[in-house]
Amino acid sequence: MCRVTAILSAAKAAHTDLLCEGPRSLLAQGEVAARPQDDGWGIARLDARGKALLAKSPRPARLEKPAFRKAAAAPARVVLAHLRDASNPAKLPKARLVGPRNTQPFAGEGLLFGHNGTLFIKDEIRSLLGKYAARVKGVNDSEVLFWQVVKMLDAYGDPALALEMALDEIRTVWVSCRGKYPGLKAPYRGLNLYLAGPDSLTVLCHWPGKNKPALLAPGWKFGQVAWRMEKGRVVFSSEPSDARPGWRRMNDSEIAVASVKGGRLQLSFRRIPA
């Protein structure tokens, strides 16, 4: 159950307050001993031309605070930060599961991508990637999800629709392959997806069922994407990353679309079929 914070701002800015300052920051979430996020960290930005600027490590962020803080301090219009607590449905050796190629965020095609959750039918979805299958370099189910979303974006041209159609494909494939997975009731445990472009941020919140409590925010649970609109920026996070007021919950099966147009932030939400 990873931790993600994604921020879109109207102008380039550093976002160290939410990423590494205070007792509920993303960095602080990685230091909760009972539920460590020790399988890697990453902070990704996009420049004005859509080139990804990545700082990533397969080691715990709590052991690499100077590098994490340096990456967090770099000004950006859009930033996607991730702490990894790796799921392992395929029962892979730890040495294969954790490493640079499997550390999020992922980047390509002028996009950044992060995921919180587990896709159990990774191999089936990868088999449908077509030309994008060759772009998958690691064994992380989240990387397969990224290229599936890119495939859908190429087909439909809209980031929100791409996330929705990726979810639809996963559910369709599950109908034909569920017999291979006795004991599983669904093809995934959580599909909270974060997709960023140079001036946009699209988030799918989908985490059905009962959830454990969040790490540091009282009254919140895993899977409830938190969001807050502030002066000059909008923030989406796996849980509130500070104690200030204004945090709101995304609904299950809801997509948020944030964009910067004419120097101003725009934000909309829509529900999709559960």
Question: Domains of the chain: which residue ranges?
Answer: 3-271
C-beta separation of 253 from 206 below 8 A:
yes
pLDDT at 226: 98
Return the biggest CA–CA distance within the chain. 52
Q: Fill in the amino acid letter for 86.
A: A
pLDDT at 94: 87
Query: Could you read off the pLDDT of 17-39 as tens digits, one per residue?
Result: 999 999 999 999 999 988 899 99
Q: Fill in the amino acid letter for 26.
A: L
pLDDT at 59: 97
Q: Sorting pLDDT into bands at 50, 70 and 90, what band is 259?
A: very high
C-beta separation of 27 from 15 below 8 A:
no
pLDDT at 212: 87
pLDDT at 50: 83
pLDDT at 103 over 80: yes
Residue 241 to residue 24: CA distance in whole angstroms: 5
pLDDT at 211: 80
| Nearest CA-CA partner of 106 in 7, 194, 16, 199 | 194
Query: What are the residues facing 57 on neighbouring strands?
Result: 41
pLDDT at 256 over 80: yes
C-beta separation of 80 from 108 below 8 A:
no
Query: Could you read off the pLDDT of 39-86 as tens digits, one per residue?
Result: 999 999 998 788 899 999 999 999 999 999 999 999 999 999 999 999
Q: How far is CA 50 from the centre of its chain?
A: 18
pLDDT at 87: 85
Share of the chain above pLDDT 90, in %: 89
Average pLDDT score over residue span 161-177? 98
pLDDT at 12 over 90: yes
pLDDT at 34: 87
| Nearest CA-CA partner of 46 in 115, 134, 116, 105 | 105
Q: How far apart are the first and last CA of the chain?
A: 21
For 133, half-sphere exposure in the C-beta direction (CA atoms, 13 angstrom radius) is 10
Q: Fill in the amino acid letter for 154.
A: D
Share of the chain above pLDDT 70, in %: 100
pLDDT at 209: 76
Q: Fill in the amino acid letter for 247.
A: W
Q: Cα dihedral sign for 160, 170, 193, 112?
A: negative
Q: Sorting pLDDT into bands at 50, 70 and 90, what band is 134?
A: very high
CATH number of 3-271: 3.60.20.10
Average pLDDT score over residue span 168-183? 96
pLDDT at 95: 87
| Nearest CA-CA partner of 233 in 51, 70, 16, 2 | 16
C-beta separation of 272 from 255 below 8 A:
yes
Q: How much is the mean pLDDT over the chain?
A: 95
For 78, half-sphere exposure in the C-beta direction (CA atoms, 13 angstrom radius) is 26
Average pLDDT score over residue span 13-20? 96
Judge residue 160's burial from the number of C-beta atoms within 10 Å of its C-beta, 0-12 exposed, 13-18 middle, 19 or more buried.
buried
CA angle 31, 36, 42 (to 5 degrees): 80
pLDDT at 49: 80
Place of tokens 């529900």: 271
